[in-house]
């Protein structure tokens, strides 16, 4: 079954099979898939898999993807060290 | 043997670039001015820049445009940078974040 080997969320290593099962058993939105499987919660902040999750969920639940953002962008939108968060010297890289 | 493209069909011969040395997990590697960390390591045949924190699988360049953070490496003991957009300089010390221990086994 290739779905089990297809990685959707690289940061958290969540496979397509896991996401499909989650949507089928709980018939949930992509936000709930994110909360249940951590897909989209990784280091990259969902940049890589956000749209894939939306598409997979829409394909199974047959509901069109809504206009507003389903998997919201959470701060810090870019990884930040505690030095930066603590008001230390700020440079463009974490 | 290096994977570096010396004679590019469009860019032509890559000759006038100064060679420098960068260190990855303690080992010296040859690189050229104008490389990014990711391209310099790739040219030396090093694909794995870090290991996944949970599964330990090797990870390296994925998007190569600073978008996905798969290529994040430790820079000079304190900073964490994206290898694909960080230009190299002579004597640069890079370490992989997890998995490989300091001696780089």
CA angle A8, A67, A53 (to 5 degrees): 10
CATH classification (class only), A3-85: mainly alpha
Best interface-test mutation with A: which of B69, B75, B92, B97 has the largest number of A CBs within 10 A?
A: B69
- Is the minimum CB–CB distance between A11 and chain B shorter than 8 Å? yes
Domains of chain B by range and CATH? 7-95 (3.10.20.440)
pTM of the model as a whole: 0.80
Task: Estimate the crossing angle of helix A50-61 against helix A30-37, to 10 degrees.
Answer: 120
Model confidence at A4: pLDDT above 90: no
Q: Which of B69, B75, B79 sits opposite A43 (nearest CB)?
A: B69
The domain spans of chain A are 3-85
Q: What is the pLDDT of residues A40-80, one digit of tens each?
A: 999 999 999 999 999 999 999 998 888 888 898 988 888 88
Cβ within 8 Å, pair A93-B52: no
Cβ within 8 Å, pair A43-B72: yes
User: Mind telling me how many Å the CA of B63 is from chain A's nearest CA?
Assistant: 9
Q: Name the pLDDT band for A87 (thresholds 50, 70, 90).
A: confident
Question: How would you write the pLDDT of chain B (105 residues) with one tens digit per residue?
Answer: 678 888 889 988 877 789 999 999 999 999 999 899 999 999 999 999 999 988 889 999 999 999 999 999 999 877 889 999 999 999 999 999 875 444 444
Where b means 16+ CB within 10 Å and e means fewer, B28-49 reads ebebbeebbbbbbbbbbebeeb
User: Mind telling me how many Å the CA of B26 is from chain A's nearest CA?
Assistant: 22
User: Mind telling me how many Å the CA of B4 is from chain A's nearest CA?
Assistant: 27
Mean pLDDT of A15-24: 94
Helix, strand and coil content of chain B, in percent to the nearest 5, comes to: 10, 30, 60
pLDDT at B105: 42
- Looking up tokens 């032509």 gives B12
Let me know: does A11 contact A48? Beta carbons within 8 Å: yes
Nearby residues of B76 by Cβ (< 8 Å), 6 or more positions away: B92, B93
Model confidence at A9: pLDDT above 90: yes
Q: What is the ipTM of this complex?
A: 0.76
């Amino acid at each position: 079954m290739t779905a089990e080997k297809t990685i959707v969320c690289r940061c958290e290593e969540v496979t397509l099979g896991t996401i499909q099962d989650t949507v089928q058993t709980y018939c949930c939105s992509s936000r709930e898939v994110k909360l249940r499987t951590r897909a989209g919660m990784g280091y990259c902040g969902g940049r890589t898999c956000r749209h894939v999750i939306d598409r997979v969920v829409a394909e199974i639940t047959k509901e069109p993807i809504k206009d507003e953002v389903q998997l919201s962008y959470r701060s810090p939108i870019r990884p930040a060290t505690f030095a930066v968060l603590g008001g230390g010297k700020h440079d463009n890289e974490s | 043997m290096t994977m570096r493209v010396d004679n590019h069909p469009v860019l032509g011969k890559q000759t006038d670039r100064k060679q420098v040395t960068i260190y990855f997990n303690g080992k010296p590697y040859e690189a050229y001015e104008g490389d990014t960390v990711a391209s310099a390591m790739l040219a030396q045949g090093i694909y794995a820049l870090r290991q996944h924190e949970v599964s330990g699988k090797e990870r390296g360049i994925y998007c190569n445009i600073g978008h996905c953070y798969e290529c994040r490496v430790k820079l000079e003991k304190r900073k964490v940078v994206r290898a694909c957009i960080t230009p190299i300089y002579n004597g640069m010390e890079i370490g992989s974040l997890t998995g490989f221990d300091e001696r780089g086994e």
